[in-house]
Structure 1
């Protein structure tokens, strides 16, 4: 990942938090047929290993599942808050007009050797944990145990687990840190004027750009 100093992030707790809050990762590996990529949700286990551990699952019928059994390395890319930044928000536009659009985003890339897991008990725990991680914030959380046992058994037979001990992790938070303070303020105000969908990005720009009152 290209990491200008202003945007680089290497604190594990920050990177792990982005993965927890944006768990859909793009899993990429290189096999005999070339590059393969699939988007799957992961659980982050920060306490396991030097840099943490990822767990997820793939459809057993997915060719990627078989390909992962023969690779030594894979990449998982996670994306956090992101969005288009119009130069109309910059104070510099009125001053000299030398401005262009850009795209702000937060990203975490993870590398490790994947392990494919067929154990049914392991898969049952993973599916339960994945479900609980998303249902816990709901007023009436659904649990795997609510579905018929034979139905769940059949679903588990149709998937394989993927476990990735993290050997390398990188983060990039491109949040207008390279702009002058008046421009950062303009970006925060502009994003917030767009409404709730842009608020997470606005909050990150304010935090990373040290925008007072942001």
Structure 2
């Protein structure tokens, strides 16, 4: 990922926070069948290994797990908030007109090699943890144990789990840091007043301004 110094994010707790706030990741591998990508919910154990370990599972029918088993390097993309930035947001537009559109966004790329597992007890722990995480905000959270045990056993036989120790993390926080404080404020206000909730979400990450 191309990351100019102004946009680089290398604080490990912040990188982990962005990973945990991204509900669906893209896992990319290259193997016998060429490039493959899957969209997966993942769990992060931030305390396992120097940069953390990611856990997830794939359907056995998805041949990508074989890439992982065969030692393919994996790229995991966590795409966070993003928004189009109009030149109209910049006060500089009225001053000299030397402005162009751009895109602001948050992203983390994680790299590593995964260990694949099919042990039923370990898979049950993984799917239970994933379920508990995403059901936690509900008034009456559904639990894996709510389903018949035999049914869950059959479902576990149809998936393959993986643990991916993170070898390298690259983070990017492109939030107009290369602009003046006035332009940053203009972008923040422009996004905050947008009718698009995606713009409003990114506005909350915008800095409050930088010294001129």
Same fold by TM-score greater than 0.5: yes
CA contact (8 A) 2:44 2:54 kept: yes
**TM-aligned CA deviation for residue 210 of structure 1:** 5.0
Cα-to-partner distance string for 1:83-128 (whole Å, 9 max, x where unaligned): 1111111111111111111111111011111111101111100001
Measure the CA separation in 2 of the matches of 1:149 and 1:198: 44
| 1:123 and 2:123 aligned | yes
Most deviating of 43-52 and 129-138: 129-138
Measure the CA separation in 2 of the matches of 1:162 and 1:182: 47
**TM-aligned CA deviation for residue 44 of structure 1:** 0.5
CA contact (8 A) 1:30 1:71 kept: no
- Aligned partner of 1:198 in structure 2 is 199
Question: What secondary structure is seen at the aligned counterpart in 2 of 1:206?
Answer: coil
- Aligned partner of 2:177 in structure 1 is 177
CA RMSD of aligned residues (A): 1.4
- Aligned partner of 1:67 in structure 2 is 67
After the TM superposition, which segments of 4 or more aligned residues of structure 1 sit over 2 Å from their partners?
A: 195-200
How many residue pairs are counted as aligned between the two chains? 210
**TM-aligned CA deviation for residue 4 of structure 1:** 0.7
CA contact (8 A) 1:77 1:109 kept: yes
Cα-to-partner distance string for 1:2-44 (whole Å, 9 max, x where unaligned): 1111100111100011111103111111102221111111100
Measure the CA separation in 2 of the matches of 1:198 and 1:72: 36
**TM-aligned CA deviation for residue 206 of structure 1:** 2.8
**TM-aligned CA deviation for residue 67 of structure 1:** 2.1
| 1:34 and 2:34 aligned | yes
Unmatched segments (≥5 aa) in structure 2: none
Most deviating of 98-107 and 190-199: 190-199
User: Structure 2 length normalisation: TM-score?
Assistant: 0.94
Measure the CA separation in 2 of the matches of 1:128 and 1:171: 29
User: Which runs of structure 2 are paired with 1:143-158 in the superposition (5 Å)?
Assistant: 143-158=143-158
- Aligned partner of 1:112 in structure 2 is 112
Measure the CA separation in 2 of the matches of 1:113 and 1:67: 10
- Aligned partner of 2:93 in structure 1 is 93
Measure the CA separation in 2 of the matches of 1:29 and 1:56: 14
Measure the CA separation in 2 of the matches of 1:29 and 1:82: 24
**TM-aligned CA deviation for residue 185 of structure 1:** 0.6
CA contact (8 A) 2:83 2:198 kept: no
CA contact (8 A) 2:24 2:42 kept: yes
User: Structure 1 length normalisation: TM-score?
Assistant: 0.94
Measure the CA separation in 2 of the matches of 1:180 and 1:210: 7
